[in-house]
Structures are given as structure tokens and as C-alpha cells.
Amino acid sequence: MTTTLSGLWEGYFTLGQGLLKMVGEIHGVQVSDDDVEEIRQAMLTMPAHPDVEPGLTKLKNPGFRLVTLTNSPANPGGQSPLEHSDLAPFFERQFTVETVRAYKPAPQVYHLVAQELAVPPSTCFMVACHVWDTVGAQSAGYTAGLITRPGNAPLPIASLPQPNLVAPDLPGLADQLIRRWRS
């Protein structure tokens, strides 16, 4: 967010590597190039939460259009994390903030998706595990749902947009969204 607010750009993994080394220096821990590569590989190959595939299935079956929007870069020549976890077939498209060279929650990131899909932002629904992502999406005209996995909760500030739906996992959020969509 600092680079975006400053009008600067640097790639996600370069920022992550710099932050890892900075935190290492702060705590007196030597961070080697091998450490950096190990973490990079772990990020590219992380498994999905167990609730994700059942939740995506619940959303795909009634015909919701599913796309992703990530702060992570595209992985040309290699498997994306979605491909690695066998979730890529659920999604029509995979969007990355690299296209607009700004990180979420910058409004232009969310506008990119609506423009590329040729739909109004009001028809887009962001599903996220981060309040900053739901606030960003809602500020850009989307509706949003928050998944409250352990350690996560809505931000109860009346002047900020609150998630339209809240659930502890993706299947629960999918059930709520389907009920709302059908009514």
C-alpha cells in the first residue's frame, strides 16, 4: 500500500523479499538468498484452505462468473498457485494488480476487473479474507463478503463500509450469496 499511495511501483515478490530482509535485520536474523527462495516457492505452492473447493463448487454450479484478483504477480512459464492447487478451472479469468501497477485496495484495481469483464461495478461481488479488500472493493462500487477465518473479523467502524455478507468459511458465504441472489 505504501508504494501505491506514494505513486511508486515495485513487484510483489521484490517487495516481499525486501520486507523479509528488513524484518530479519530488525530482529538480528541473517536472511540468505536460499531463505528468500524457500519462502518464494512456498508462496507459489501453498495449498488452498480445505473449504475453498467445496465453496467454489457451490458458486460455480448455479452459474456465478468467478474470477480472481490478486496482489501477486502472474507466473509466466510456471504454475500459478491456483493451478498448483487444482482450482484454476473454477475461474473464468485471473487478474493481477500488475496490469494497473497499483496494489489493492486502490480503486483502479477493482475498476480494472469490471472494465475487462464489461460489467458495472455494482454487479461485482468481492469475496475476501481481509477487511482492507472488502473496504476497497465496496469503495469502488462492488458488494463484498468477508470470510472470518480464525484471526479475522469485520472492522466495526460505522463510517467505513461493512461487508454485505460475513461467514466463517467459503461454503457458508456461498450459501448466503445464493440465497440473496435467488430472492
Domain holding 173: CATH number? 3.40.50.1000
> Which range of residues forms the domain containing residue 24?
2-44
Is residue 173 within 8 Å of residue 145, measured between CB atoms? Answer: yes
Which residue spans within 38-82 are E strands per DSSP? 67-70
Predicted model pTM: 0.89
89 and 67 inside one domain: yes
130 and 146 inside one domain: yes
Residue 109: burial class (beta carbons within 10 Å; 0-12, 13-18, 19+): buried
pLDDT values of the chain reduced to their tens digit, one per residue, 183 residues: 889 999 999 988 889 899 999 999 999 999 999 999 898 888 888 889 999 999 999 999 999 999 999 988 877 667 778 888 899 999 999 999 999 999 999 999 999 999 999 999 999 999 999 999 999 999 999 999 999 999 899 999 999 999 999 999 999 999 999 999 877
Beta carbons within 8 Å of 68's beta carbon, 6+ residues apart: 82, 91, 93, 94, 95
